[in-house]
Amino acid sequence: MSKPIYIINGPNLNLLGTREPEIYGSQTLADIETLCRNAAKANGFKIEFLQSNIEGEIVDAIQDAGKKGVAIIINPAAYTHTSVALYDAIKAVSVPCIEVHLSQPAARESFRRRSFVSEASVGTISGFGANSYLLGLQAVFDLLKS
């Protein structure tokens, strides 16, 4: 059986739909999961989609992806800007990682300009709302097919 693409979501993304919709849009995380599942299926891939508010659980998910997955798409949310542990976890696994964001952090508060996760990722897609996930998936499909 083929290994899945892990799509890992960080803190507060469980609140999408009601959380600052003017910044993050009105789609829920479940809506985004459905979009990702359909896109993966149409391209012959499986996904493992998860969310946690807990940094250590996200580290565990990255390690699981390294053992049981083919690639990682991660929206690390606020841990983007703070977490050496996520940087180290991504560096420790050999599967490619693509960072995605709904908003464009570089155009927001100055504390959002630093991303520890970018420094360990193949690339970053941000600012396109839920479409950032689909663009991230397209990047993974291309990487895995090449």
Contact letters for ligand DQA, residues 103-122 (x by CB under 6 A): x-x------x----------
Write the CA distances from 81 to 26, 87, 127, 146, integer angstroms.
24, 10, 16, 31
Q: How far is the CB of 67 from ligand DQA (least distance, A)?
A: 25
Q: Which of 27, 66, 73, 28 is nearest to 47 (CA)?
A: 73
**CA dist., res. 74 & res. 76, Å (int):** 6
Write down the H helix ranges in 69-130: 84-92
Size of the site for ligand DQA (CB under 6 A): 10
Comparing CB distances to ligand DQA, the nearer of 58 and 101 is 101
Contact letters for ligand DQA, residues 46-75 (x by CB under 6 A): -----------------------------x
Residues that bind ligand DQA (CB under 6 A): 12, 75, 77-78, 80, 101-103, 105, 112
